Amino acid sequence: MVQAISEVSFDRDQFIQKLRAAGITQEEIQTAKSQGPSAFKQLLEAHGIQAPSAPPSRGNGNNEQFIQKLKALGIPESVIKQGPEAVKQYAQQNNIQLPEPPKRSSESNHSGHKAEFQAKVEQYMKQHQGVTEQEAVQAVMAEFKAKQTALEIQNKSN
C-alpha cells in the first residue's frame, strides 16, 4: 500500500517524523540525502511512500529567458539542470561570460504574496474556530515551508 504524504500541512521536521513513523531510519534519510534527490525518491518508494506534490509553478518568463541565454552561450542543458554552481563552474572552465541572472521578485510581487498570505490566515481562522491569529499565522507558515520543501525535493530530483 502506498502512503501519500501529499496533504502537506507541516514543516520539514514533521515531514521527517512522518518518514521515521513509516519505518525509515535517520541513517537511511542521511544516506539518501547525501546521494541526491533520485536516491531520496527511491528510498521513499522502497517504503511505499509517495512524495508530496509540489505547488503549481507560477512560471517565470524571466527565468526561462535566462535559461535560453545560457543555452545560446553554449552551456548544455544537462549542466543547467544541475544548478547555478554547475553553470558557474562550466562557464569558468570554458571562458564563458555569464549574463546577470533574473531578479527574484519585485515589490509588487511582495505585496501580492503578503495579501495572499493574509487571506490564507483569515481562511484558516474561519475553518478552525477558536484559534488565535498567531496560531493561524504559524499554521500557514508551516504549510508554506512544507510546500517549499516539497518543491526543493522535486527540483533536486529533476
Cα 150 from Cα 5, distance rounded (Å):
10
**Per-domain residue ranges of the chain:** 1-59+107-158, 61-93
Cα 27 from Cα 18, distance rounded (Å):
15
When the pLDDT of each residue in the chain is averaged and rounded to a whole number, the result is 75
pLDDT at residue 112 in the model: 64
Query: Could you tell me where the DSSP H helices lie in the chain?
Result: 12-21, 26-35, 37-46, 61-72, 77-81, 84-93, 107-127, 133-157
Q: pLDDT tens across 121-133, in order? A: 888 888 988 888 8
**CA angle, residues 110, 112, 115, in degrees to nearest 5:** 110
- Mutual angle of helices 12-21 and 133-157, in 10-degree steps: 70
Q: pLDDT tens across 33-76, in order? A: 777 777 777 777 787 776 654 444 444 567 788 888 888 899 99
For the entire predicted model, the pTM comes to 0.32
pLDDT at residue 58 in the model: 44
CA atoms within 13 A on the CB side of 128: 14
**Amino acid of residue 6:** S
Q: Which of 15, 9, 13 is nearest to 55 (CA)?
A: 9
